[in-house]
Every structure is written in C-alpha cells, then in structure tokens.
C-alpha cells in the first residue's frame, strides 16, 4: 500500500522535476514531500504514525536531491499539513478544509494523484475541492488556520508599550547595537524598515527605540528607553518582530504600502516588506506566482482570492492602493 501511494504521488509531479529536482518549483517539491510523508506514516487501518526525519531524507536522497527534504518539510509545516515532534519525528496533521471566499481548500499531507480528493483546482499550493467532496471533511476557519495575532496594529503597539514598561531594567555598555529607522515613502513609493547605528526612537515622542544586537552570531531584538543620546533601560520583546514592525509603521503614520494592480484574470499585489509568517502562509496557499525583487515581493493571485489576501494585509496594518 505504501509503495502504491508513493508511486501515484510521483505520477502527479512533472517528469522534468523528477529528473532535475529544484527548490524553486514549490508545487512539485511540496507534492513529493506530501507523498513521502503520507506513504511512510499511513498504517493499514488508515491511522498516522510519526516518521523520523532520516527516513524522509532517505527518500529525497533516492531522488538525487538529498538537500531538498528540509524545504519540503518546511512547506508542509507552513501550510499546516505536518508538524515536527520531539526527537526529529514528523506527523501529518488531521485532514480538514479551510473556507476562503466561499471556496474550500484542502489541508493535509496526501498527494493529489492518490485520488482521495476527487477533482481539484490548483491555486498556488492550495488544492480547492468540489463542494460535495469538501463537505466530507471537518472545517477550520481561515483565522484558525493562519493563527495570526488577533490584535489590530494599535492594540499591538499598546501591548508592546505596556510590556516594555513592566519589564524594563537599567542597562549600560551595550555594543554592536543598531536601531530601527522608519523611512517614509519617497521615490520608491513605499515605507522601508532600516537598521542603522544612529540612536533614534520610533515611539513615545522618540523615547522608545527598537534595537537589534548581534550576540554569539545571532540577532537579539529588544526595546530601549533612550536618555541623553544613549540606552538607559532595556526590555525583551515578546511580540513577533515582523508583526510588531508593521504595527509600528502603521501607528506612526508610515504604513507599509500594498499596491494591487487589477486585471480580469489575475491581481498583482506588491508589498514593500517581507510579510509575517502567518500572512506569508496564506500567500503561499493562494499565489500562482511569488516574485521577489529586493525588499519588495509581488504576489500574483486570482481576483476572488486576492480579496481575502488584501483583507488580511489591511488587518496587518498595510495601506492598500488599487491600480486599474
């Protein structure tokens, strides 16, 4: 049974990818990873058992691309089709469907060619089901699947400020520190996050700074209260940094712009900064193509699904602009 599953999974992947696997083709990579995890984890009674990463790596090695297993597992984790366990084990998540704009997208580590999903429509990495098939699975809300912070930008910033006040402690002699600067839209047409050695605050009339320090080869982020041109106190930041930066940009009046160019068949949404993981999760699911150029990323999405994506960007704190 397992061999049959893995064989049919391979049949749904383009032959040129199987002959020369490449990470840039996300759809083929995640499909091979789905088939691998499904075949190794499925028991005869239909239950799933954890699979050690070494067995998954072995399948990619037989393909001739041993280094791609990490990317395949990462994509499944981002799509919430599989989760890592302690000790290097991976387990498929329960099958379910997520509703987006009255359509149902399947979430689960089963390959397309298994035939389990019936007739599907591909949009990005998402597999959209016919209504009769979708009704057979449990439903999960889009918000539950994305798992974003539910706070709006203003509430996020207020929680950040309250957290700094509670946790701040005096400090001195900090080295290798850079400070967040928010560059207002200029000729580039978008805000940008910039880190520099110049001591500058972004909140509380310039008294509170967002800082980044290189320690033991890793970046440490913290907030700081400034006094006399230097750091007087510091506090840890317990809000994901990308989400906090979008919220701060919105709060101080320089929001990150999201520019949507409309067409009858496709909508191109350009965002000037990298998205937080929860919004990028949705982008992976629905984007037919993702193109990065410097700090900006363009997502090519069908018009209907673009509505849901742009609504999430607005909740994140982006300033939406539509071009015909």
Give tens-digit pLDDT for 242-282: 999 999 999 998 899 999 998 878 999 999 899 999 999 99
Query: Which helix (H) or strand (E) element contains residue 120?
Result: strand 120-123
* Residue 10 sits in the same domain as residue 133: yes
pLDDT at 113: 63
Q: Which residues contact 27 (CB under 8 A, 6 or more apart)?
A: 122, 124, 125
Given 199, 224, 251, the domain boundary residue is: 251
Q: Report if residue 110 sits inside a domain.
A: yes
* Residue 209 sits in the same domain as residue 104: no
Q: What is the CATH number of the domain that holds 274?
A: 3.30.70
pLDDT at 187: 42
pLDDT at 3: 41
* Residue 16 sits in the same domain as residue 69: yes
pLDDT at 2: 38
Q: Report if residue 146 sits inside a domain.
A: no
Contact 181, 210 (CB under 8 A): no
* Residue 125 sits in the same domain as residue 159: no
Q: Report if residue 23 sits inside a domain.
A: yes
Does the pLDDT of residue 125 top 50, yes or no? yes
Q: Residue 178: how many CB atoms within 10 A of its CB?
A: 17
* Residue 237 sits in the same domain as residue 281: no
Q: What are the contacts of 201-204 at 24+ separation with CB within 8 A?
A: 201/226, 202/248, 202/252, 203/157, 203/161, 203/248, 203/251, 203/252, 204/161
* Residue 19 sits in the same domain as residue 134: yes
Mean pLDDT of the chain: 89
| pLDDT grade for 89, boundaries at 50, 70 and 90 | very high
Given 92, 107, 140, the domain boundary residue is: 140
* Residue 208 sits in the same domain as residue 185: yes
| pLDDT grade for 88, boundaries at 50, 70 and 90 | very high
Does the pLDDT of residue 104 top 90, yes or no? yes
Provide the domain count of the chain: 3
Does the pLDDT of residue 191 top 80, yes or no? no
pLDDT at 4: 37
- pLDDT above 90: percentage of residues in the chain: 72
- pLDDT above 70: percentage of residues in the chain: 93
* Residue 28 sits in the same domain as residue 93: yes
Given 224, 251, 278, the domain boundary residue is: 251
* Residue 288 sits in the same domain as residue 228: no
Q: Report if residue 118 sits inside a domain.
A: yes
Q: Would you say the C-alpha torsion 118, 119, 125, 128 has a positive or negative sign?
A: negative
64 burial level (CB within 10 Å; 0-12, 13-18, 19+): exposed
Q: Report if residue 126 sits inside a domain.
A: yes
The whole-angstrom separation of Cα 62 and Cα 55 is 11
* Residue 291 sits in the same domain as residue 246: no
Of 146, 88, 101, the residue nearest 284 (C-alpha): 146
Q: How far separated are the first and last CA of the chain, in Å rounded? A: 52
* Residue 43 sits in the same domain as residue 135: yes
| pLDDT grade for 185, boundaries at 50, 70 and 90 | low
Q: Report if residue 221 sits inside a domain.
A: yes
Which strands form 126-129's sheet, in the order they lie side by side? Answer: 120-123, 126-129, 103-107, 96-100, 139-140
What is the reported pTM?
Answer: 0.89
Q: Report if residue 147 sits inside a domain.
A: no
Residue 36, domain extent: 2-140
| pLDDT grade for 130, boundaries at 50, 70 and 90 | very high
Rounded to 10 degrees, the C-alpha dihedral 24/26/29/35 comes to 180
Per-residue model confidence as pLDDT tens digits over 61-72:
999 999 999 999
* Residue 16 sits in the same domain as residue 129: yes
Does the pLDDT of residue 303 top 70, yes or no? yes
């Amino acid at each position: 049974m397992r061999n049959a599953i893995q064989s049919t999974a391979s049949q749904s992947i383009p032959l040129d990818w199987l002959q020369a696997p490449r990470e840039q083709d996300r759809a083929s990579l995640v499909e091979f990873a789905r088939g691998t995890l499904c075949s190794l984890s499925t028991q005869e009674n239909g239950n799933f058992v954890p699979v050690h990463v070494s067995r998954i790596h072995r399948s990619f090695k037989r393909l001739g691309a041993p280094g791609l297993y990490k990317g395949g597992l990462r994509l499944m984790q981002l799509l919430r089709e599989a989760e890592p366990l302690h000790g290097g084990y991976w387990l498929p998540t329960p099958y379910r469907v997520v509703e987006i704009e009255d359509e149902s997208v399947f979430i689960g580590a089963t390959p397309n060619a298994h035939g389990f999903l019936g007739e599907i429509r591909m949009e990005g990495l998402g597999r959209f089901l016919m209504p009769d098939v979708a009704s057979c699975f449990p439903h999960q809300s889009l918000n539950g699947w994305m798992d974003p912070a539910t706070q709006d930008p203003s509430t996020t910033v207020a929680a950040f400020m309250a957290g700094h006040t509670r946790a701040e402690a005096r400090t001195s002699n900090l080295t290798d520190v850079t400070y967040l600067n928010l560059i207002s839209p200029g000729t580039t047409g978008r805000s940008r996050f910039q880190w520099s050695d110049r001591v500058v605050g972004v909140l509380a009339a310039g008294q509170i700074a967002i800082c980044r320090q290189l320690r033991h080869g890793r970046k440490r982020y913290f907030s700081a209260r400034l006094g006399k041109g230097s750091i007087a106190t510091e506090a840890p930041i317990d809000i994901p940094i990308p989400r906090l930066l979008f919220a701060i940009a919105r709060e101080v009046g320089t929001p990150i712009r999201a520019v949507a160019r409309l067409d009858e068949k496709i909508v191109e949404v350009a965002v000037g900064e990298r998205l937080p993981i929860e919004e990028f999760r949705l982008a992976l699911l629905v984007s037919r193509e993702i193109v990065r150029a410097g700090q900006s990323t363009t997502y090519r999405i069908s018009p209907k699904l673009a509505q849901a994506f742009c609504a999430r960007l607005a909740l994140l704190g982006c300033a939406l602009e539509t071009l015909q």
